[in-house]
């Protein structure tokens, strides 16, 4: 018999309300490694609220969120940093910082998550910008760059 697989992420009885509006009502679900999991629901039903719990932007009123069996609210700083460092997410809208140029937006994660030198960051960021044919708007702010970014 196969041993049961351990979920990579598990929600156990998670509830969340804002004021007297209950958004998540004791939800349970598991996400497994190597699979694509899709969250489907009408607008305003709590999909983004659910995802924000995974990245710790929101804390549940009740219940737990586990990463490989470990409650994320019990992680020590180093464990948390390791966990959060594995997660990538894109915001639903305004996926770019509007106070930064296109180039600065692309370079930002390299600045904060690598030890690369300024010159190397510039080269890498420009290579991606060229690859995506955004060279013309590299120095513009995201709101000025048309429909592309």
Ligand X SMILES: Nc1ncnc2c1ncn2[C@@H]1O[C@H](COP(=O)(O)OP(=O)(O)OP(=O)(O)O)[C@@H](O)[C@H]1O
Tokens of 37: 């999991």
Q: Which is nearer to ligand X, 3 or 88 (CB)?
A: 88
Binding mask 86-125 for ligand X (x = CB under 6 A): ------x---------------------------------
Binding mask 18-57 for Mg ion (x = CB under 5 A): -----------------------------xx---------
Q: Which is nearer to Mg ion, 41 or 85 (CB)?
A: 41
* Binding segment (CB under 6 A) for ligand X, from list 30-38, 41-49, 112-120, 134-142: 41-49
Q: Which is nearer to ligand X, 92 or 113 (CB)?
A: 92
**Cβ proximity of 46 and 54 under 8 Å:** no
| Residues 51-110 close enough to bind Mg ion by CB under 5 A | none
Tokens of 52: 């924000």
Tokens of 142: 């995201």
Lay out the sheet containing 9-18: strands in order across. Answer: 21-31, 9-18, 62-67, 70-71
Neighbours of 65 (CB within 10 A): 20
Can you say whether residue 19 is alpha, beta or left, with left for phi > 0 and alpha for psi between -120 and 50 degrees? left
> Which listed option, Mg ion, ligand X, none, makes contact with residue 23 (CB within 5 to 8 Å by class)?
ligand X
What CA–CA distance (Å, rounded) separates 42 from 38? 13
Contacting residues toward Mg ion, per CB under 5 A: 47-48
């Amino acid at each position: 018999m196969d041993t049961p697989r351990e979920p990579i992420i598990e929600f156990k009885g998670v509830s969340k309300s804002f004021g007297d509006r209950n958004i998540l009502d004791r939800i349970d679900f598991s996400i497994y490694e190597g699979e694509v999991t899709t969250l489907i629901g009408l607008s305003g039903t709590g999909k983004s609220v659910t995802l924000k719990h995974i990245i710790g932007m929101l804390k549940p009123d009740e219940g737990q969120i586990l990463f490989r069996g470990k409650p994320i609210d019990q992680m020590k700083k180093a464990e948390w940093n390791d966990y959060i460092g594995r997660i990538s997410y894109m915001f639903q809208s305004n996926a770019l910082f509007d106070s930064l140029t296109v180039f600065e937006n692309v370079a930002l994660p390299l600045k904060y998550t690598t030890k690369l030198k300024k010159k190397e960051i510039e080269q890498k960021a420009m290579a991606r910008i060229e690859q995506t044919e955004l060279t013309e708007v590299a120095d513009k702010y995201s709101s000025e760059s048309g429909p592309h970014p």
